[in-house]
């Protein structure tokens, strides 16, 4: 369960339990998407954290791609996204996502 999207106020927290979570919200009549990183619903439980300001539809696709690129560049052999995130922290992801 690496990617967990959810939409709306009743999203049941799925986005908080994914290595990468996406929460879609209606912000003043405009769809906006929050990107969250670092969640797990497994034995190594953790709640994903919001990366920062939200994105429009095209922007969230780019943000997920940028986060994935950081993971691919920084991971060690066999390392999951969550393990890489925990090892290097949020900052390298934020720098890439909001560059």
CATH number of the domain that residue 65 is part of:
3.30.413.10
Given this model, what pLDDT does residue 41 score? Answer: 79
Look at residue 3 in the predicted model and tell me its pLDDT: 58
pLDDT for 2: 60
Query: What is the domain count for the chain?
Result: 1
Average pLDDT over residues 65-80: 97
* pLDDT (0 to 100) of residue 24: 84
More confident residue, 20 or 66: 66
Q: Could you read off the pLDDT of 4-39 as tens digits, one per residue?
A: 555 555 556 666 767 898 888 877 888 899 999 998
pLDDT given at position 73: 98
Residue closest to 85 by CA, chosen among 54, 43, 46, 29: 46
85-99: per-residue pLDDT in tens? 999 999 999 999 999
What is the span of the domain harbouring residue 68? Answer: 3-97
């Amino acid at each position: 369960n690496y990617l967990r999207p959810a939409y709306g106020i009743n999203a049941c927290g799925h986005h908080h339990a994914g290595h990468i979570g996406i929460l879609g919200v209606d912000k003043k009549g405009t769809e906006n998407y929050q990107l969250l990183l670092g969640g797990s619903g497994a034995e190594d439980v953790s709640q994903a954290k919001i990366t920062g300001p939200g994105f429009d539809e095209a922007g969230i696709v780019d943000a997920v791609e940028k986060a994935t690129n950081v993971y691919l560049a920084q991971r060690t052999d066999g390392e999951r996204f969550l393990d890489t995130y925990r090892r290097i922290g949020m900052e390298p992801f934020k720098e890439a996502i909001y560059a």
